């Protein structure tokens, strides 16, 4: 079969046009897509919130025994940090979803890869900062109660280990979340950017 047959076949398909789509059906398609995008974002955020519930529970459990200013501040602090993390994720998702598609393929792929990288960086920074802050608070409390010594050194080491662990697990998480999609887009971009040898 020669490629000429393909062009003939294509022209045949062009002639066999499907009947026009009604305006209301087109607008319904758009509404469905909009709600699909919102649903997916909500589902992702719910999943994210669920994974931080145990952390929030730690702060709340303390309040069940006795309400003190310190415990209240801890619970609010934990909830606030989780909120920041989820907000970062939400903002990143929106940024990815808002990449304009009316540019050239090269620009769109570049913009999407950039948005995914920015999302991964922002999430990782927020995640590690959260653990860093926890570690700092822990060291501060131990230092204030026990003074300099064995316990303070132990708390410091524990804090450092927690930050290191959060970096490793955060990297794993963003790789799982954005890595495959980014790699696929990057591969497409490379296909497009590779200089073809003139024949």
Partner 1 sequence: MTSKSVESEFVALVNTHRGAVRRVVNTYAAAPSEREELFQEIVYQLWRAFPSFRHESSALTWVYRIAVNTAITAVRRQARQPEHVPLTSDHDDDTPTATTGAPDPRSELMYRAIRQLNDVDRAMVLCYLEGLSYERMAEVFGISRSNVGVRLNRAKARLHAIVRELEERPWS
Distance (Å, whole) CA 111 – CA 72: 43
| Residue 47 within binding range of partner 1, rule CB under 8 A | no
| Residue 133 within binding range of partner 1, rule CB under 8 A | no
Using the rule CB under 8 A, which residue among 53, 58, 105, 157 binds partner 1? 105
Using the rule CB under 8 A, which residue among 75, 78, 130, 177 binds partner 1? 177
Distance (Å, whole) CA 106 – CA 50: 37
Q: How many residues bind partner 1 (CB under 8 A)?
A: 50
| Residue 29 within binding range of partner 1, rule CB under 8 A | yes
Residue with the two structure tokens 């995640």: 127
Please, what is the Cα angle at 64 between 60 and 66, to 5 degrees? 115
Determine the interface stretch with partner 1 among 54-62, 82-90, 104-112, 146-154 (rule: CB under 8 A).
104-112
Task: State phi, psi for 17 to the nearest 5 degrees.
Answer: -65, 135
| Residue 35 within binding range of partner 1, rule CB under 8 A | no
Using the rule CB under 8 A, which residue among 109, 115, 139, 142 binds partner 1? 109
Determine the interface stretch with partner 1 among 46-54, 67-75, 80-88, 183-191 (rule: CB under 8 A).
183-191
Kindly state the tokens that stand for 66: 């006795």
| Residue 17 within binding range of partner 1, rule CB under 8 A | yes
Using the rule CB under 8 A, which residue among 47, 100, 147, 150 binds partner 1? 100
Using the rule CB under 8 A, which residue among 76, 80, 94, 107 binds partner 1? 107
Q: Which is nearer to partner 1, 7 or 68 (CB)?
A: 7
Residues present in the chain in total = 199
| Residue 73 within binding range of partner 1, rule CB under 8 A | no
| Residue 34 within binding range of partner 1, rule CB under 8 A | yes
Q: Which is nearer to partner 1, 66 or 102 (CB)?
A: 102
Give CA torsion, residues 194, 171, 92, 28, to 10 deg: 80
What is the 3-state secondary structure of 49-115?
HHHCHHHHHHHHHHHHHCCCHHHHHHHHHHHHHHHHHHHHHHHHHHHHHCCCCCCCHHHHHHHHHHH
């Amino acid at each position: 079969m020669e490629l000429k047959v393909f062009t003939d076949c294509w022209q045949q398909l062009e002639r066999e046009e499907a009947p026009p789509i009604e305006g209301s059906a087109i607008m319904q398609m758009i509404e469905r897509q909009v709600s699909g995008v919102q649903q997916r974002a909500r589902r992702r955020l719910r999943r994210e919130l669920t994974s931080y519930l145990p952390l929030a529970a730690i702060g709340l459990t303390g309040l069940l025994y006795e309400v003190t200013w310190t415990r209240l501040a801890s619970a609010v602090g934990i909830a606030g940090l989780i909120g920041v993390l989820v907000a970062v994720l939400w903002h990143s998702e929106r940024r990815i979803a808002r990449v304009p598609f009316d540019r050239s393929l090269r620009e769109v792929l570049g913009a999407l890869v950039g948005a995914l990288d920015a999302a991964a960086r922002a999430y990782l920074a927020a995640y590690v900062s959260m653990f860093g802050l926890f570690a700092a608070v822990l060291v501060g409390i131990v230092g204030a109660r026990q003074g300099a010594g064995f316990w303070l050194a132990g708390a410091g080491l524990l804090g450092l280990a927690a930050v290191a662990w959060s970096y490793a697990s955060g990297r794993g998480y963003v790789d799982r979340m954005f890595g495959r999609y980014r790699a696929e887009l990057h591969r497409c971009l490379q296909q497009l950017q590779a200089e073809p040898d003139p024949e």
